[in-house]
Each structure stands twice: as C-alpha cells, then as structure tokens.
Amino acid sequence: MNCEKITYYIEKGYLTELNITEKIQIKLHQLYCKCCKNYEPDSLTLNKVFKLLAGENKVDELSKQEKEAIKTALERMD
C-alpha cells in the first residue's frame, strides 16, 4: 500500500464510513510510515479549520493544542 492510497483513505474517512479493510490498511501502513502517521492528525486539524472558515464549526470546538498548532504554523509563514 502506498502513501497516496493511505492519504486517500484518511480523507475518505472524513466523508464516509471506511470499511474494515481500509481501516486496517491505514493502521498497518502507519506502523512503518511516520509521514502518514503524522498526516492524519494534521489533516483532521485542517478539516476543522476549513469547516470553521466555512461557518460550520464554532471556534470553541478546536482544542487548545489545535489552536496553538495553527498559530505556530501561521507565525512560520511570516
């Protein structure tokens, strides 16, 4: 299983329920791929931010850690 397919499954999981095979493939791949392991929480944070910007979430739904990660990322862009 390659990283492109795993990231596809991760993103697909935000929209629909993954089947057991897809879930297992993600977990097995993440055991040896640090990039994909890190991708999942980063992607989740981005999805929350996009929903927030679209008016679908309230600000207080982001955790303190997620808010700090966003703030740090924005500061690095300057």
Q: What confidence tens digit (pLDDT) does each residue in 43-58 have?
A: 988 888 888 887 765 5
pLDDT tops 60 at residue 59:
no
Can you give the pLDDT at residue 73?
Answer: 77
Residue 65: name the closest of 37, 51, 44 by CA.
44
Whole-prediction pTM value? 0.66
Note the helical H segments in 1-78: 3-15, 20-32, 34-53, 64-77
Residues 6+ apart with CB under 8 A from 33: 3, 6
